[in-house]
Chain A
Amino acid sequence: MSAPPSSAGPPSERPSSASAAGVPPPAISVRELVKRFGEVPALDRVTLEVPSGQVLGLLGPNGAGKTTLIRILLGLTRPTAGEASVLGRPPSDPAGRARVGYMPQDLAVYMDLSVTENVELFGRLYGVSGERLRARAREVLALVRLTERRHSLVADLSGGMRRRVSLAAALVADPELLLLDEPTVGVDPELRFEFWEFFHRLTQDGKTVVLTTHYLEEANRADRVVFLHAGTVLATGAPAEVKARTQTETLDDAFLRLVRDRAHGSG
């Protein structure tokens, strides 16, 4: 019972399929998505399309529905209504999941394994093995600057280092789509800068990065932002566009303006 060949996702296939279609298909497509927990709607008819090859910032306060949206895209939870497709497949398809890297908001790495053991475990779960796995692990650990600590137990690392292990685990299988929930929390500004550089480098290879962040200002570096508020999409567009539309100087102000307008509009 081996996985279908497509789940291995050889990187060589990706550019050709993207270029053959002319306009690459969207990495994520979500239509009229509703998720209710009891009476409370966590997502209320969210429609969203994320073109591939972009860094998308998913912004909004706690409880806006960012994590719920990501969990649906990963097939971890089922929507109450609506449709979602990730890389052209339903989120419940395990073969599709093999091409999606995920870094959860909680520090989901094994404290009682070493840095390398963690990264290699996730590599194997996504179908990477042997020499390629070792090479990829070295690469991503260099990227998150943990080469020197690669044999340390995660329990012995600082909070910021642990988040970097988690990011390395999300990257190791060279996914086409990265879903990163708060990847830059506890990461110092210098390294945060490097992360953003790296995210943009990934998009040059046709990959897509979706990340959530509390630091609205760092989202200025995203190609596109989506403002989520109380389970609905307030606005979407390039950061400059959104700021121009709301006649504000910063994304923080833009967000506040949009929330206020919404409140007046509905009340």
Chain B
Amino acid sequence: MRASHRLRQRHLEDFETIWKGVLRATEQPDRYWSWAYKLRQGKQEARYEAYAIEVDSLTQGLMFLETQWHRSQLPQRYPLVYVEALAVAPWNRRLLEDPPYLRGVGRTLLLFARQRSLELGYGGRVGLHALPESEEFYRRNQMPEYDPDPDKEGLVYFEYGVLRR
């Protein structure tokens, strides 16, 4: 499993059709964030990058990064890779009695964010705001935890520092 795909039209279509099939199933209005908009933004502005994990011919995970404007929460304000959004396909989550189709998609995306940080000269620094139900996942991945961020509706901020031996 490799997060090597830059986001392409077919990944967006997977999101718009089968991932969002859950919307139709639950008859919820479509208020989803537009990955298509972000893809266009990514093409127009170099600071944005969008990636997908594709396995068995379908999109298994998506990630959108900002690579120039965000800074570390540390006093030194180091530049870092900021994860604007990270999500896995509905079938890769454990729900009730069903095991995930693939395990490790989220962790692979997170690993890729660190790789991009190294490539960009940020030393592996990565920041993100975890959803409340996902906080434990980032703790398990030894990502240092900061305070809830009032600018992000109270989501807790996590940040990897520089990669050390």
- Answer whether A and B are interacting partners: no
B residues near A, CB below 8 A? none
A interface, CB within 8 angstroms of B: none
